[in-house]
């Protein structure tokens, strides 16, 4: 796996496929491999070269585990695109990765050809701020939750009722969550960035073609907050996918991949 020195860190990334480049950015606490189950195969199958990366604070990428900003993470992605010489390119981000993507589109439009913003928002409301602060306080208190309990809470927060009510699917999800490593200090640093400032007015200045993909049952970035981003960005497309929570790109990858591919290839119905 290639590694580059960029923006003061050692950033690890991986490439797959050939063709026009797409950079994919994961959310809080997640690594590049999450994309590889469904999204990387879908994009390489239609002729894209896909670059996935481990964000600052997520091993094996290095970086300060505290004190970094959203703009630091934007700079990391900008540095990767410049190092590879692929700008302007397509950029896809989910959750925190979407925050990075929309800020990159705003401040470095020379590097972004199209942007897909999955499970995003442009401000932090009272509930989302409270959830983030509670999780940070729990981490700082060094409370170690029982693994099964933590898995159940994660499922309730991240999945749709459709999945929660499917016994066979839930058994698999709970097993997966139990096997997922607990977040470290890098995850803790990224959580601080989840309390996004009110940025909707700034996003009116984005001129990059954007698609916002929202999930109807998303508790972390609910669709009405994602819709605000689409309404703020001039000309942005908006796609609402039913029966999915925050992990909609894993719950219904076929629907997400179809929407994403049609936007990126210009084949969406008009």
Q: 228: how many CB neighbours lie within 10 A of its CB?
A: 17
Nearest to 259 by CA among 218, 201, 214, 225: 214
Nearest to 213 by CA among 163, 164, 173, 263: 263
Residue that is written with structure tokens 């692929």 in the block: 86
Distance of CA 74 to the CA centre of its chain: 13
DSSP H helical segments within 108-233, as ranges?
126-140, 147-158, 161-164, 167-179, 185-192, 200-203, 223-232
Bridge partners (DSSP) of residue 53 are 13
CA atoms within 13 A on the CB side of 191: 19
Catalytic residues: 95, 218, 246
DSSP H helical segments within the chain, as ranges?
39-45, 70-84, 96-107, 126-140, 147-158, 161-164, 167-179, 185-192, 200-203, 223-232, 248-251, 253-265
Structural contact between residues 38 and 249, judged by C-beta atoms closer than 8 angstroms? yes
Alpha-carbon dihedral sign for residues 159, 164, 169, 171: positive
Q: How far is residue 250's CA from residue 27's CA, in Å, rounded to a whole number?
A: 13
């Amino acid at each position: 796996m290639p590694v580059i020195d960029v923006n003061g860190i050692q950033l690890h990334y991986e490439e797959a496929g050939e063709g026009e480049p797409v950079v994919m950015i994961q959310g809080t606490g997640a690594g590049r491999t999450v994309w590889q189950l469904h999204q990387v195969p879908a994009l390489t199958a239609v002729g894209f070269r896909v670059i996935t990366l481990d964000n600052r604070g997520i091993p094996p990428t290095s970086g300060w585990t505290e004190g970094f900003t959203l703009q630091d993470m934007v700079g990391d992605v900008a540095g990767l695109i410049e190092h590879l010489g692929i700008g302007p390119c397509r950029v896809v981000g989910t959750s925190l990765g979407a925050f990075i993507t929309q800020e990159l589109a705003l401040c470095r439009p020379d590097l972004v050809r199209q942007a897909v913003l999955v499970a995003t928002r442009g401000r932090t409301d009272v509930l989302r701020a409270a959830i983030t602060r509670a999780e940070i306080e729990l981490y700082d208190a060094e409370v170690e939750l029982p693994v099964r309990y933590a898995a159940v809470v994660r499922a309730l927060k991240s999945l749709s009722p459709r999945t929660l009510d499917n016994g066979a699917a839930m058994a698999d999800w709970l097993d997966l969550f139990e096997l997922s490593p607990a977040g470290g200090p890098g995850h803790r640093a990224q959580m601080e960035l989840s309390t996004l400032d009110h940025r909707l007015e700034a996003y009116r200045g984005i001129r990059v073609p954007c698609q916002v993909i929202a999930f109807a049952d998303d508790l972390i970035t609910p669709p009405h907050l994602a819709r605000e981003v689409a309404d703020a960005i001039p000309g942005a497309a908006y796609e609402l996918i039913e029966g999915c929570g925050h992990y909609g790109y894993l719950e219904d990858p076929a629907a997400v991949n179809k929407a994403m591919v049609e936007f990126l290839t210009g084949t969406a119905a008009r």
